[in-house]
Amino acid sequence: MSRYNQMKHTFTYTLRILLYLILIAPLLLFAAYAFSTRWFFPQPFPVEWTMGTFQRAINDSRTLSSMAQGVWIAFLVSILSLILALPTARVLGLRKFRGRQLAWLLLFLPTVIPPLAVGMGLNILFLRIGLAGTITGVVLAHIIPTLPYTIFTLSSAFARFDENYEYQALALGASPWQIFLKVTLRMMTPSLVVATLFAFLISWSQYLLTLLIGGGQVITLPILLFSAASGGNPSIIAMLSLLFVAPPVMVIAFTARSLNQHGNEIREQY
Amino acid sequence: MTTINILSLNKTYLNQSAPVLKDFSLSTNDGEMVALLGPSGSGKSTLLKLITGIERPDSGDIQFDGSSILNIEPNKRGAVLMFQKSYLFPFLSVEENIGFGLKVQGASSETIRAEVKRMLNLIGLPGIERRKPGQLSGGEGQRVALARALVTNPKLLLLDEPLSSLDTSVRMNLQEAIRTIQREFGVTTIFVTHDLGEAMAMSDRMALLLNGGIVALDKPENLFHRPRSLAAARFMGVSTFLNGDQLPVKCEASLSSEKIFAIRPEHIRIQKEACKDSIQGVVSDCVFRGEYVEYQVAIDEMTVRARMTMPAQMFSHGEQVYVNFQSEKLFEIHW
Amino acid sequence: MRGHPLFSPWLSLAPALTIVMVLLGASLLYAVAESMDFISVIGQDEISLNAYRETLNLNSEFWISLGFSLWISIASTFISSALALLLAVWLSERHGDADTLALNWNLAFPHLVWSVALLLFLSQSGLLARWAVALGLISTPADFPILVRDRFGIGIILSYISKEIPFLTLTILAVLRSQSIGYDVVAENLGAGRWQRLRYVTIPQVMPALLAGALLVFGFIFSSYEVPALLGVGYPRALPVLALRFFLDPDLRARSEGMVISLVITLIVSVVAVLSLKIEERE
């Protein structure tokens, strides 16, 4: 019996280690290609390490500007989503009203309608009104996938929020604005952080919408990576991949705990 | 400091047919503690919401010291609330929580620190400024909440079942503390509860609330011994009601069958032997409750509930007994 | 804050709803208009169903792509659901926050980058092929099986499976861990064996959630572009790849065909989404 248990224990242990190994494997793989040189075919492991690819990447104005543009767009998208989502999420999380179901349905349409169709339609519309190829256009397009997620995260946080904290502050003499800043936002901070970070990530990793709306004028890292991956040098592909996953990897590492609550909701956005 | 006049309040919530408050009026004296006692759904919490301004009444008026507050912003009314849960802001320390009201009014940090210190001494928890609400026990949390409410020198303190989530011992302790501190501040207080004992222990006057209106308002001892109406009597634990002609004791009033008399269970005595003015009955139920025994005795069609303080003679189910009403304790009920 | 009748909840919903409705509505409207050749870009403003006729023609590539897309979507969904079920049952018998954390970790790798990783790992000159040489299994890259950019979509399916297993596992785990009473324990107490418990207790319990999740996964895979574009071949192409190729064609008439295909995808995905919603509601 104890022998059987021991075997079972070892098996569980091995499986777990395997699981964790798979998790960091992509990073190791990218690092191996990105920081090695003259790694010719049959050699199973890199033989010569180099920072050359990295230096070339960060000295390349195209890479740098694509990253800067991606960060700027993602920043605008997350701020805008947050501002749009806050009042909506509050009402959806705290109030019961006629048509609530309908509101949910409408707000969640963007998760159902494929980005492909949205992007193509917006491409024509934005060409007409002069938003195609502009940062504004891309930001507007990115809001479509980020907004439902932001609303969802915040509204489930509001559903757990007890309005009596606000009444308490009101009775103690705080003005509505003070209540919003000092009580509501403070109580919501963890969810706000998660919602913002993920709106940022969804925008940061958006390929199709950026391609269709940016039309070759707005270049972000996923666009560079995609065209490199379609037939480029493995070292460069790997380096761009590393730069591309750096923000998500950091965010997930930092927010890992709260993800147990929210993580699964955004997966399909990604 | 403040007298409160609540005049003919009416409130019906949207999508609801029955009014929550119906022509509700209540006046308090300066520095008085009035307990509002009522079952859930009787409109107690709605009243507090109307006073603090979270909700607006459909009609009627609320006045502090004779002037209406209905058009004053909720955060300028000076009516502070204390709930069943302490609602201390979890992200602020005890000091910041107590100082919250002063801070939003723009007080200097020295004033705040001094005031917080004074309040902490007053509630008997000196030196816990740096603690977070999560590190406090339920009773401590409510004390801090009380300090937070009172530090702004409010005109009116509203207590919404502030003790109902606490253990019995902590609760007794806090009842006294709240009462003492309230007297010391002289702050007019409305105290909502569904616990009769708590209402009697703490209040100067007690109002019984039923279906959105007050059915009785008096000092606790008066209400307890001489409730005027049937509803109030039921509320106060009276369950024996007799028509005038059913009375075993003969007096002038008893001749009329129009009048109704009631008696508290502890004023009914049960004994083995017959005596003057006693009626014969059969014990139909008997519950031992430690400090007293509760009997139900069937007398013809009627059931009488009696409460005998221990030590008392014990009777068993089905036993023939004699019921003796203490005639001087009978009181008349007005419909 | 106040329950004032004029303070309608729709006022708070207005900004977000407007943005979503305007952007989505306009894009769909334009898509439909374009699919009917109603585009004045080339000076044509007559409604025609030419693009539909062209696309849905029995000899058109559309049908091949539809078949290919259905194949990769169904295969990926089915395999990842089955594996996720096993993994979830296995994990639910142990309690560990670490495992759920581990499953969330894959969020750090968007589909695009995940596909790139597979490309570097599985291609004929990739890392796995190098190791195969080192182990003496093969001698040249050509000996290594074509796992990515293959005609059968194996690379695409592998990429989706590895990304969707964590999602479905977490969905199932949420159900299994939310119940306060362990029905499993009850069943065991009543004498059910390990497989009987899985068959009669666990699977019926998680089925609605798994089905709803699987339909979502299907809809996502069926309509997404990046993975089949990176890991697929020129023929057969997945539907979204075909749609975008037509749409970006310099010949403006092809654009309408791209739109038709994208509308067909939208229609199929919407039906699947409604199904998924119905299943979740029935729960």
Which pLDDT tens digit goes with each residue over B64-91? 998 999 999 888 898 998 988 889 999 9
Which residues, in sequence order, are bridge partners of residue B260?
A: B243, B333
pLDDT at B249 over 70: no
Provide mean pLDDT across the span C111-121: 93
> What ranges do the domains of chain A cover?
1-50, 61-269
Search chain A and give the residue with CA nearest B145.
Answer: A168
All residues of chain A having their beta carbon less than 8 Å from the beta carbon of residue C133 are: 41-42, 44
pLDDT tens per residue across span B190-209? 999 888 889 998 999 999 98
Instruction: Render chain C in DSSP notation, one character per residue.
Output: ----TTS-HHHHHHHHHHHHHHHHHHHHHHHHHHHTT--GGGT------HHHHHHHSTTSHHHHHHHHHHHHHHHHHHHHHHHHHHHHHHHHTS--HHHHHHHHHGGGS-HHHHHHHHHHHHSTTSHHHHHHHHTTS-SSGGGS---SS-TT-HHHHHHHHHHHHHHHHHHHHHHHHH-SS-HHHHHHHTT--HHHHIIIIIHHHHHHHHHHHHHHHHHHHHH--HHHHHH--SSS--HHHHHHHHHT-SSHHHHHHHHHHHHHHHHHHHHHHHHHHHHHHH-
Single-letter code of the amino acid located at B281: G
Q: What's the mean pLDDT in C105-115?
A: 87
For residues A199 and A81, is the Cβ–Cβ distance under 8 A? yes
Split at pLDDT 50, 70, 90, the class of B235 is confident
pLDDT at A26 over 60: yes
In this prediction, residues A45-74 reach a mean pLDDT of 90
CATH of domain B240-333: 2.40.50.140
Residue A190, pLDDT > 70, answer yes
What pLDDT shows up at residue B256? 61
**C207 domain-assigned:** yes
Residues of C with a Cβ under 8 Å from any B Cβ are: 1-5
pLDDT in tens, C219-270: 999 999 999 999 998 889 999 999 999 998 888 778 888 999 999 999 999 9
B171 touches chain A (CB under 8 A): no
Q: Does B70 touch chain C (CB under 8 A)?
A: no
Assigned CATH topology for domain A61-269: MetI-like fold (1.10.3720)
pLDDT of residue C97: 63
Q: Is the pLDDT of residue A263 over 50?
A: no
- How confident is the model over A19-39, as a mean pLDDT? 86
C5 has pLDDT over 80: no
pLDDT at C7 over 60: no
Q: What is the pLDDT of residue C6?
A: 43
Nearest to A170 among B75, B83, B85 (CB): B75
pLDDT at C85: 92
* Averaged pLDDT, A21-42: 87
- Chain C residues with CB inside 8 Å of B55's CB? 2-3
What pTM did the predictor assign? 0.82
Mean pLDDT, residues B54-66: 91
- Residue B61 neighbours by CB under 8 Å, 6+ apart: B5, B6, B7, B8, B9, B68, B70
Reported ipTM: the value is: 0.87
What span, in angstroms and rounded, lies between the C-alpha atoms of A121 and A214? 14
Pick from B14, B54, B55: which is nearest to C5 by CB?
A: B14
> Does C1 sit within 8 Å of B14, measured CB to CB?
no
Looking at chain C, how many residues does it have? 283
Q: Does B71 touch chain C (CB under 8 A)?
A: no
Residue B18: which pLDDT band, with cuts at 50, 70 and 90?
confident
The gap from C-alpha C231 to its chain's centroid, in whole angstroms, comes to 15
Local confidence band at A270 (pLDDT 50, 70, 90 cut-offs): very low
Instruction: Output the domain CATH number for residue C158.
Output: 1.10.3720.10
Q: Could you report the per-residue pLDDT of A199-212, keeping only the tens digit for each? A: 999 999 999 999 99
Contact A170 B87 (CB under 8 A): no
Res A265 pLDDT > 60: no
Task: Please check the confidence at residue C96 and state whether its pLDDT lies above 70.
Answer: no
Mean pLDDT of chain A: 87
Mean pLDDT (chain B) is 87
Between CA C183 and CA B246 the distance in angstroms is: 61
Place of tokens 């029935």: C282
Residue A260: what pLDDT? 54
Domain boundaries, chain B: 4-234, 240-333
Q: Domain of C256?
A: 61-282
Amino acid at A126: F
**pLDDT at res. A236:** 92
Contact of A91 with chain B, judged by CB distance below 8 Å, is answered with no
Of the two residues C190 and B13, the one the predictor is more confident about is B13
More confident residue, B153 or A12: B153
Which chain C residues have a beta carbon less than 8 Å from that of A115?
Answer: 223-225
Convert the pLDDT of each residue in C13-54 to its tens digit.
999 999 999 999 999 988 888 888 776 555 566 777 888 888
Distance CA C150, CA C140 (A): 18
Residue to substitute from C1, C2, C6, C8, interface B, most B β-carbons within 10 A: C2
Judge whether B225 is closer than 8 Å to chain C, CB to CB.
Answer: no
Looking at domain B4-234, its CATH architecture is 3-Layer(aba) Sandwich (3.40)
Kindly state the percentage of chain B with pLDDT values over 70.
Answer: 95
pLDDT confidence of residue C1:
41
In a domain, C46, yes or no: no
